[in-house]
Chains A and B, each alone.
Chain A
Amino acid sequence: MQRMVIERILIGIVTLWVVSVLVFVMTSMLPGDVAQIVLGQSATPESLAAYRAERGLDQPRVFQYFAWLGNMLTGDLGTSKAGGATISSLISGRLYNTMILAAIVAVIAVPLSVALGLMAAMYPGTWIDRSLTFGTLALISVPEFFIATFMVLIFAVNLGWLPAIARVAPEDTFWESARGLAMPLITLIIVVAAQMIRMTRAGILNVMNSPYIEMAILKGVRRKRIILRHAFFNTIGPIVNVIALNLAYLVSGVVIVETIFAYPGLAKLMIDGVQTRDLPLVQATAMIFCGTYVILIILADVAAILANPRLRNPK
């Protein structure tokens, strides 16, 4: 089992390395010369050359890549072209915002959706199951920007209960923060919960066709215990993987929600970076997103291994 876990981690490291190559190659392929953009149209050839030499931009690409990789590994994410602020300082605040939002959503959405999924599976075909299935299907089909815009329209514009812009400041009271974050939180919970509910339900019902479930019925076990004790433990693998993918989405994929609510998160920072051709910033955020994915997927795999007695206790 240890070997399998170590294997997963090694694969993760290799994946991250491949991703770093891809990120570097792709960002270097973006049109536009950094020196030209930074120094503007009026720059003299001499100043351009000097800038390039200073940044190592006249070096071969391979050399640039390793320099970049080395800097990243030592925690130096580089400096932004905008005014020379370090990328780390730009990112840290945004990363905090994103993580806070993601963490709150995860803490609410994961237990909620697993519980609702189990409930739907416990009473298949009843009105509880039907309304959950229909509701989640409807919510999956509706794009998140629609949900977000709709909520702004109702709660901020028509009713005026909540601010249309989500902002958190350290000096805010709890109540102010909660009001500020309510709409993006609800939007994101709806988006991720729908999928997790459906997967939990499908996973459980899939296992419910197994002979060992029929055996449990024939032993006179109650349906609630069958689901929670007999079926759930055999469904953990697929469920944690869906949870991991959804959590990764909360860190990297929420740009639309961040844009609509003007929330200063990491995804929005990346888009700004792309728009201003701030390559070091784009590279750094891309690596953070990929790292999040890889780490969460490794965690999900390890959880699935731990939940499987075959892998936990070899013969």
Chain B
Amino acid sequence: MSELFEIDNLQIQARKEDGTPIPIVKGVSFKVKAGQVVALIGESGSGKSTISMATMAYCRPGLEFPGGEVRLHGKNILAMDPQDQRAIRGNNVAYLAQSAAATFNPAITIGEQVTEAAVLHGTLNQEDANKRAVALYHALELPDPERLGRRYPHQVSGGQLQRLMAAMALVSSPDLLVLDEPTTALDVTTQIEVLKAFKKVIREEGSAAIYVTHDLAVVAQVADHIVVLYSGEVQEQGPTEQIINNPKHPYTKRLMAAVKPTPIAGMSELVDDRFDRDKPNIEVRNMTAGYGGIVDGKPVITVLRDINVKIKNSHVVGVIGESGCGKSTLARVMAGLLPAAKGEIFLDGKELAPDLKDRSREELQKVQFVYQMADTALNPRQQIGDILGRPIEFYRGLKGKQRREEVAKLLQLVELPIEFETRYPSELSGGQKQRVNMARALAAEPEVMLCDEVTSALDSIVSSNVIKLLQKLRDKTGVSFVFISHDLSTVGSFADEIVVLYAGRVVEQGPVDQVLSPPYHPYTRLLISSVPELRVGWLEETMQKREMAVGIARGVEITDTGCPFYNRCPIAIEGTCNVETAPTQEPHPDHFISCHRTMEEITEAENIPQKVLHGFEKAAPEGDKAAAAAH
């Protein structure tokens, strides 16, 4: 009796220009039994995505299979001819990619894309495929299943697209599902929702799955068996319980150490007072901003409302919230990329022009922006020395030898070897590029660095190294950081203060230890509860919690009246929260919470009977919109 699926001594290699092979995957073997979920875990470069595509006998252009076998029902699919391989893809083995937003074709309706594989392979005719798709939309708790297929990918949210991709993979009832980092790019709250849906569907469909990720905490929730990979080799494999509770290999232990801790008070190290840390460095007062031009003193699409944020000298302020809450918009307003419609920005007590082009060179120098994607922020045709040298010359007027010395100092500061000066960005790893990206901002000797999700695209180990570097930079340079992230544990580990943004408003703000301890704003509580913990069974436990029931099912929606969190809040008061703007309370000095409930009620939130929201159906944002419009 053969296994359902087996990878046996698989090798994958690339070739240098002169034809010498570079091994990428060096003899990997593992098995997947029917109904089993096997996790491939490792950081980027470990070959896990390459292996996951090899399950369909596919490799990216430039790669080849020199040896090993991939057996499906005992047959080696690597040895098949391309026609037979194509017949397996999307039929016997189906693939879910990391970014659903990029994986859906923007020009084709969702329904056609979801049903395409089943119809092309002849497993179902179009009509039956449509029926099956609708059934899957129901199972995945997607809104408006009957009409969803007629929409285009841009008309649904990111979390919905991710679940739609699951529908696309499941439509032809594959024997094996391959999920490649399916939740990595998502907000914590969306991640839970998607994990829950995946788990349910895998169980109901009874298909086997390979789950590829770098996040052990996620793996602990879904996998039966774990395979730990490092640089194309299996380091350790075994049942989930065993790997999580009793890791043997040092690399597995390192992965465990890089798992994000649950955000709690006291996790941040406070810095010494070498710098004058009391005077405000950059301050935003009563600021309202948005897109689409300004009509009657209000933006056409308001994103941020009445924002007041003060960042003291050499402080780190973490800005958190889900996507769509206005975090990046806040940084763009501070940088002057998006002029605010109302309100003022002060730098060292002096008012800044709202628009970048009206600011002086000195003012520009003091506020620097670090983008999320180092890949797109660094010019691929410039050497690192030029990328760093240009701002040194532009802002500080240093040339020739002095400029080179400064470049060397910067590289040292971000812990990169001096030889990198003559390299191009494409020759660097993701973490190294992100260091260069930060060094580029530091080259201007700024007072404020606006870091927009700088660790979100990085693996846990690389990302924790970047955070360590940021901590060091803060201690060494006295620069203030605005650190934007949807990841509360990262922010909690090194910020001095936290600003919690929800739907364009500050719902809670204050010193890190106070924000991360009760009383919590209900939204902060939701975010904290959504960070996965490294133990088996956490997902099920969490889904039982009351704040999850409504909080997870619904998404961010910007409202004009009342508290924007109203429709996701387990303790909202109907007739108050949806009508009046929430008052701002100050439970501790400098700690602000905007909520209608008293601090006692918030702390005792578990005891407040949960209200029933009218029009509430699970995962029905359309209903929400109607409900929000009715109020």
Q: Which residues of A contact B (CB under 8 A)?
A: 210-212, 214-222, 225, 229-230, 233-234, 307-310, 313, 315
Contact = CB atoms under 8 A, between A and B. Distances in A.
A195 to B, nearest CB: 24
A212 B106 CA distance: 9
Contacts of B90: 218-221
Given A215-B95, A215-B103, A216-B116, 19 more contacts: A210-B102, A211-B97, A211-B99, A212-B105, A214-B60, A214-B97, A215-B97, A215-B105, A216-B105, A219-B90, A219-B94, A220-B120, A220-B121, A221-B117, A222-B86, A222-B120, A234-B105, A234-B107, A310-B106
B65 interface: no
B123 to A, nearest CB: 11
B97 A229 contact: no
Contact of B154 (A210, A212, A216, A309): A309
A310 B104 CA distance: 13
Nearest to B56: A218
Q: Which 7 A-B pairs have the closest CB atoms?
A: A219-B90, A220-B89, A233-B107, A220-B90, A211-B102, A219-B117, A309-B152
A315 B160 CA distance: 14
Given A215-B97, A310-B152, A234 B116 contact: no
A220 B53 contact: no
Given A229-B108, A233-B108, A315-B154, A219 B116 contact: yes
A234 B58 CA distance: 24
Contact of A309 (B86, B97, B107, B121): B107
Contact of A217 (B58, B107, B116, B168): B58
A218 B86 CA distance: 8
A220 B102 contact: no
Given A211-B102, A211-B103, A230-B108, A218 B95 contact: yes
Contacts of A218: 53, 56, 58, 89-90, 95
B155 interface: yes
Interface of B: 53, 56, 58, 60, 86-91, 94-95, 97, 99, 102-108, 116-117, 120-121, 151-152, 154-155, 168
Interface centre among A225, A229, A309, A315 (most CB of B within 10 A): A309
A54 B524 CA distance: 83
24 contacts: A211-B97, A211-B102, A212-B106, A215-B97, A215-B104, A216-B105, A216-B116, A217-B58, A217-B89, A218-B58, A218-B95, A219-B94, A219-B95, A220-B86, A220-B91, A221-B90, A229-B108, A230-B108, A233-B108, A308-B107, A309-B152, A309-B154, A315-B154, A315-B155
Given A210-B102, A221-B120, A313 B89 contact: no
Contacts of A310: 106, 152, 154
A210 B153 CA distance: 15
A-side interface mostly = helix
A221 B116 contact: yes
Contacts of B155: 313, 315
Contacts of B97: 211, 214-215
Given A215-B95, A310-B152, A315-B154, A220 B87 contact: yes
Contacts of B108: 229-230, 233
Nearest to B151: A313
B55 to A, nearest CB: 10
A214 B154 CA distance: 19
A216 B113 CA distance: 9
Nearest to B112: A229
A110 to B, nearest CB: 21
A212 to B, nearest CB: 4
A204 to B, nearest CB: 13
Nearest to A311: B154
Contacts of A211: 97, 99, 102-103
A218 B168 CA distance: 12
Contacts of A220: 86-91, 117, 120-121
Given A218-B53, A219-B117, A220-B120, A212 B88 contact: no
Contacts of A215: 95, 97, 103-105
B196 to A, nearest CB: 24
Contacts of A214: 60, 97
A242 B257 CA distance: 55
Contacts of A230: 105, 108
Given A215-B95, A221-B116, A309 B106 contact: yes
B172 to A, nearest CB: 9
Nearest to B87: A220
A147 to B, nearest CB: 36
A309 B155 CA distance: 10
B192 to A, nearest CB: 24
Contacts of A309: 106-107, 152, 154
Contacts of B103: 211-212, 215
A48 to B, nearest CB: 55
A211 B104 CA distance: 8
A141 to B, nearest CB: 26
A315 B88 CA distance: 36
Nearest to A226: B105
B161 to A, nearest CB: 12
B45 to A, nearest CB: 19
Interface centre among B99, B121, B154 (most CB of A within 10 A): B154
Nearest to A230: B105
Contacts of B91: 220
Contacts of A222: 86, 120
A217 B102 CA distance: 14
Given A211-B99, A217-B89, A219-B89, A313 B121 contact: no
Nearest to A309: B152
B89 A307 contact: no
Contacts of B56: 218
Given A211-B99, A220-B117, A313 B152 contact: yes
A309 to B, nearest CB: 4
A313 B147 CA distance: 14
Nearest to B153: A309
Contacts of A216: 105, 116
Contacts of B86: 220, 222
B259 to A, nearest CB: 28
Interface centre among A210, A215, A219 (most CB of B within 10 A): A219
Nearest to A219: B90
A214 B103 CA distance: 8
Nearest to B58: A218
Contacts of B117: 219-221
A74 to B, nearest CB: 38
Contacts of A234: 105-107
A234 B154 CA distance: 14
A230 B107 CA distance: 8
Contacts of B53: 218
A217 B88 CA distance: 11
A219 B112 CA distance: 13
Interface centre among A217, A218, A229 (most CB of B within 10 A): A218
A208 to B, nearest CB: 10
A196 B151 CA distance: 32
A221 B106 CA distance: 17
B186 to A, nearest CB: 16
Nearest to A210: B102
Contacts of B106: 212, 234, 308-310
B95 to A, nearest CB: 4
Contacts of B95: 215, 218-219
A143 to B, nearest CB: 32
Contacts of B120: 219-222, 225
A223 to B, nearest CB: 9
A214 B59 CA distance: 10
B97 to A, nearest CB: 6
Contact of A307 (B99, B107, B152): B107
A308 B108 CA distance: 10
Nearest to B61: A209
A251 B89 CA distance: 49
B156 to A, nearest CB: 9
